[in-house]
Amino acid sequence: MREYSLLRRTRRAGTRGPLDLTTFTAAASPDLDPFEIVIERARLTEQEVVDVASDPSVAALTPTMPTRLVSPLAANETSFTDRDLPLWRVRFFYCVATVIEGTIGDLPTLIESKRSQVMKVETTENFELEVEGGGADKASVVLVAWLDGGERRESLEVAPGQRIAKSIRRDGRPFDLDTGLTLQELRVVDGTAEKSVQRAEFLPDGRRKIDPATGRPSFHAETVTMPTRTLELRMTEPGGATRTLSAPVSPPAGG
């Protein structure tokens, strides 16, 4: 007993034959009315093949070709690696289409076609930025990215209007380590902050004051005002959204 595919002329699309055949609607050759043709599959004995072939409603009969796997893809895997994806967040939409084609006689025939629902995938951001220093004209940053299972740290200088990216060598070839961010503005903010410090205590004669409980020099807390300087980087994302990164830098000279 083998599996066969056949073309059957019928005006009752989707009906099953006496052998309980699996039915698929499809179009055939131009000399056959596509609205009167169905594709059926069934496992038949030699005698049943003779009986079906003699049926005037059967236009063609042939053994079913073996199914060939075109592209394997497990549901929990992906054919993409981190080198195929950008470092910034990306939203993907995809669907999986399965098409089985074959021939019945000399006619190319669509056996089956299915398409999954549209799926949405959002990748995570695969980098961090660390501010090392800078001023109102340029900033020094460290771009930290995770590539090929390891951490990659690259220092670069960027000015307003420039893309935060660096060309590196990867596997012996040029590769753009691109965050997708564009630096729009650098802003230096000077200010002050209060800080608690410990001051040593002295006696009127200049000697260190000793704590009688511990026998050690005593201290007292004192609040002082310290100068601060913060560098703010205002950046735009590929989608147009803005973000701000700020970090303390060296305070003004003489502070």
Domain boundaries, the chain: 2-63, 127-248
- Least confident residue range of 11-20, 54-63, 128-137, 236-245: 11-20
Please say if the pLDDT value at position 33 is more than 60.
no
User: pLDDT for 112-128, tens place per residue?
Assistant: 677 778 778 777 788 89
User: pLDDT band at residue 240, thresholds of 50, 70 and 90?
Assistant: confident
Q: What pLDDT score was predicted for residue 32?
A: 43
pLDDT (mean) for 135-163: 90
Say whether 220 sits in a helix, a strand or coil. strand
- Least confident residue range of 43-52, 90-99, 121-130, 187-196: 90-99
Taking the alpha carbons of 35, 36, 39, 40 in that order, is the dihedral positive or negative?
positive
Q: What pLDDT score was predicted for residue 209?
A: 92
Q: What pLDDT score was predicted for residue 41?
A: 80
pTM more than 0.75: no
pLDDT (mean) for 165-187: 89
User: pLDDT band at residue 71, thresholds of 50, 70 and 90?
Assistant: low
Q: What are phi and psi of 65, to 5 degrees?
A: -75, 150
Say whether 11 sits in a helix, a strand or coil. coil
Taking the alpha carbons of 233, 237, 240, 243 in that order, is the dihedral positive or negative?
negative
Please give the sequence-ordered ranges of beta strands (E in DSSP) within the chain, or none if there are none: 2-9, 22-25, 37-44, 58-63, 91-94, 97-104, 107-115, 119-122, 127-134, 139-147, 150-158, 163-170, 173-200, 219-236, 242-248
Determine the Cα–Cα distance for residues 87 and 181; give it in Å rounded to an integer: 10
Please say if the pLDDT value at position 19 is more than 90.
no
User: pLDDT band at residue 23, thresholds of 50, 70 and 90?
Assistant: very low
Q: What pLDDT score was predicted for residue 65?
A: 63
Please say if the pLDDT value at position 145 is more than 80.
yes
